[in-house]
Structure 1
């Protein structure tokens, strides 16, 4: 909870205590509590901002302020002489306490969250681009004239010399934000207001500020989200790498996200079909082409063919790619097929394409969730060699084994589940109840992933670090290295 939210709840309980336990003659105490609570209520609403989780607190606070002030001013008339029975008195008070606890609980478990503070030495800037691939038809819409459009967000080191304030995580424009949360709410069959408080969430980044001057260009990492999520869920990972001297490019794979907002106000939602292995391969090819196209656009930014502040600032000879889930599979595939990519990371993603992919001669890292070992045991017990999915998974394990044998790290993190590799773990502790995030503390899970990803790219793209990749580390007991003999 935010500061004035906490103060508001405490003041509400203080007002209730005044009514129950402080004698009527103590006017000063009641007036101070009433005026102080009024100030806190106004500040909370107009500075921190209203949110629906605290609705019951707002109502109870306003009611108690009115009663306490009128009571101590002697304006209650004959009402003050009515002596309510103890049962009624304490029953009504108990109901008020229960309502306050419910409202406070909603505020705690559906919090206004902010991205974790940066660990790197640099501040982070961000800039968003709208790219259209005129050479590629959009096959995920019914209009044959549509071309493939992508929204791409670039994160980079900055000095923030203009002293701008850090940006909101979600769109600042009210109409765009409304469209954005409507897409989420419609997908989950929830009313729009449920997600309205997301507008208060902050990043650590500054929009459209100048890139930090450097004697050498910055290595670049492209980042792909998972199927049905979006680049928003990987903002903390992008910020972390950028704070350590990388340019990070996050991609929204259009029609495979919860929501993608375009500059003209259009909002696309999730329309992708991935029911069969063939569906996955078809969409995998689209995403692979997305990454390759974005690399083309990055080259234009660096050369000046697209006017921007990034001219000459991007080290295209040290380019990496990473992703989560389907985006992780895309990271592996693009690392294999595109010679411009020098290293890659797959965060808990089953591979899209496994044919002729066992000779990857580039640095690559697989990071799996904590259920990997149990899944591997069950998979080997239930293997059906005639099943297409089984064959696909066997080939995937063979590829992971080859990567390990060629020196690439493959790890799993105990206590994590699939969505511990996204920022979703910061949104609410209640998400753990769904099973899509694990028992590990969200901040700790994020730290572990970020440290290993950073160490990998430092070694692969900067030629430094790599100590975490050498084997088990006492500072990270959750991290277990996969033994190739087990695969």
Structure 2
């Protein structure tokens, strides 16, 4: 069993910053919860538990104890694959590179911000290797959980909000319309988190991140349902400068109006095979309307648009699942290479559109990553970028950053 479920070592982040972290529980008093589910019967408002990861000063030697990997990832894998939860106890013995409540790094006066939305039945901790990399590269990352579409969320009163299975629908269009409504709730979660960051950033707030967030440079990324959340948020909230979807759907307004700010989509070879009408096996995440939506969104974009397929990946490759059990989940590519690919392209995208840093990885195939191939009909790049002096410390955004 130890060979099948090893106590793995987290890959070292490649950035220059140590990583601090803390958790917070946000309550949106303006919205009532639309799903009762496993929550108490009393009327409730919408809650969004978050974890924040940020560039930090390396703690002193006596406080130099990194956090362990949260055990919630094991619970999610159990839920998604129907495996006993006991198989994943080893996850909580893994050391991360995160330090609780470490001091924010002093190197810069403020840092760009990224929101992360997990997949359905998943957790904000599902892709910690990616989150650690982004924080080490100088991003403040906020991971959101979404009650009833995330796997399991502890509410403010201590009760649990469990994932609620979708109803059974006779036609795919009914499920599609259901997903539109659910993703809209998640996009409102992202909007509320963005509102909260404004409050935290005020000098009078007394918050540890007060004045340290560059809210002119905010992006969003997510996996699966979280990727759909990222795309819909970009389409509906102009405060978000760029979005990355790790194989999400296009449910909501995003499929009906052109995107005005940079967007990148990473597809997997496993799901791409499902587009073949003659394919005998379809990925569980495949839905009939995806091709039409993707074609419309990518071609209609009024800003930079990038679409690439990672040939050896399958849908869960964008999470840390291959580390949890390489023999079961790594499949065609090693865990280390899986993480390297995801980290490299996500960082390159946000470095370009939030920091103004060019990268050879964007918009063209490169020999260093033969697994990644761009779809030329869906990919075009111009001069769009938030270039307003980030590298020289000036936080003033470029007036042309939102569109070409």
Partner of 1:119: 14
Is the 8 Å Cα contact of residues 7 and 91 (structure 2) preserved in structure 1? yes
CA distance in 2, matches of 1:485, 1:280: 24
Task: Give the secondary structure class of the aligned counterpart of 2:23.
Answer: strand
Deviation at 1:232, TM superposition (A): 1.3
Q: Secondary structure at the match of 2:180?
A: helix
Residue of structure 1 in register with 2:64 after alignment: 164
Q: 1:348 to 1:460 in 2, by over 3 A?
A: same
Give the C-alpha shift of residue 470 in structure 1: 3.4
Q: For the residues of structure 1 that align with 2:362 and 2:77, how far apart are their CA atoms?
A: 38
Runs (4 or more) in structure 1 with deviation over 4 Å come to 180-192, 262-265, 389-392
Cross-structure match for 1:12: none
Compared with structure 1, are the counterparts of its residues 274 and 125 closer, same or farther at alpha carbon in structure 2 (3 Å cutoff)? farther
Alignment of 1:366-377 (within 5 A): 366-377=265-276
Partner of 1:221 in structure 2?
114
Identify the residue that residue 465 of structure 1 maps to in structure 2.
Answer: 358
The 1:264–1:443 alpha-carbon spacing in structure 2 relative to 1, beyond 3 Å, is farther
Does residue 413 in structure 1 map to residue 313 in structure 2? Answer: no
State whether residues 250 and 293 of structure 2, in contact with CA within 8 Å, keep that contact through their aligned partners in structure 1: no
Change (3 A) 1:265 1:170: farther
Alpha-carbon distance change, 406 to 484 in structure 1, aligned in 2, over 3 angstroms: farther
How many Å separate the matches in 1 of 2:246 and 2:82? Answer: 29
Kindly report which structure 2 residues correspond to 1:108-187, keeping only aligned pairs within 5 A, or say none.
Answer: 108-141=3-36, 143=41, 145-162=43-60, 163-170=63-70
CA–CA distance in 2 between the matches of 1:186 and 1:445?
22
Deviates more, 1:307-316 or 1:188-197: 188-197
CA distance in 1, matches of 2:22, 2:34: 28
Q: Which moved more, 1:156-165 or 1:454-463?
A: 156-165
| Cα contact 1:335–1:344 (8 A) shared by 2 | yes
Q: What are the within-5 Å matches in structure 2 for residues 370-389 of structure 1?
A: 370-378=269-277
Determine if contact 1:184/1:259 at 8 Å carries over to the other structure.
Answer: no
Instruction: Tell me, in whole angstroms, the C-alpha distance in 1 between the residues paired with 2:59 and 2:378.
Output: 53
In 1, Cα distance between equivalents of 2:104 and 2:238: 27
Name the structure with the higher helix share. Answer: 1
SS of residue matched to 1:153? strand
Tell me the CA shift for residue 225 of structure 1.
Answer: 0.4
Find the counterpart in structure 2 of residue 343 from structure 1: 242
User: Would the aligned equivalents of 1:354 and 1:392 in 2 still touch at CA under 8 Å?
Assistant: no
The alpha carbon displacement at 1:438 in A equals: 4.1
- Structure with the bigger RCO (C-alpha within 8 Å, sep 6+) is 2
Partners of 1:123 and 1:261 in 2: CA distance: 28
Q: Report SS of the residue matched to 2:340.
A: helix
Structure 2 distance, partners of 1:116, 1:150, is 29
Q: Contact 2:112/2:354 (CA < 8 Å) preserved in 1?
A: yes
Give the alignment's Cα RMSD to 1 decimal. 2.6
2:172 alignment partner in structure 1: none
State the alpha-carbon separation in 2 of the partners of residues 158 and 468 from structure 1: 27
Separation in 2, partners of 1:375, 1:183: 24
| Equivalence for 2:123 | 230
Structure whose CA Rg is larger: 1
Deviation per residue, 1:384-413 (Å, 9 max, x gap): xxxxx645641332212334x843211011
What's the TM-score once normalised by structure 1's chain length?
A: 0.69
For 2:179 and 2:308, the matched residues in 1 are separated by 25
1:222 & 1:368 partners in 2: Cα distance? 20
> What stretches of structure 2 of length at least 5 have no aligned partner?
169-174, 280-286, 380-404
Question: Aligned match of 2:323 in 426, 439, 442?
Answer: 426
The residue matched to 1:398 in structure 2 has which SS? helix
How far the C-alpha of 1:187 sits from its partner, in A, is: 7.7
Residue 399 of structure 1 corresponds to 297
Structure 1 position 376, deviation (Å): 3.8
Deviations 1:351-370 (A, max 9, x none): 11256634112111011111
With normalisation by structure 2, the TM-score equals 0.82
Number of the residue aligned with 1:445: 338
Contact 1:358/1:398, CA 8 A, preserved across alignment:
no
Classify 1:462/1:185 alpha carbon distance in 2 versus 1 (closer, same or farther; 3 Å). Answer: closer
In structure 1, the gaps of 5 or more residues are 1-105, 172-176, 381-388
2:153 equivalent to 1:260: yes
- The verdict on how the C-alpha distance between 1:305 and 1:367 changes in structure 2, with shifts beyond 3 A counting, is farther
In structure 2, the residue matched to 1:324 is: 223
Aligned partner of residue 277 in structure 2, secondary structure: helix
CA separation in 2, counterparts of 1:472 and 1:207?
39
- Preserved CA contact (<8 Å) 1:371 1:416: yes
Give how far 1:116 is off.
1.5
Relative to 1, partners in 2 of residues 1:467 and 1:150: Cα closer, same or farther, differing over 3 Å? same
Q: Deviations over 1:216-238 (max 9, x none)?
A: 31000101000111111121111
Question: In 2 relative to 1, CA 203–417 (structure 1 residues): closer, same or farther, beyond 3 Å?
Answer: same
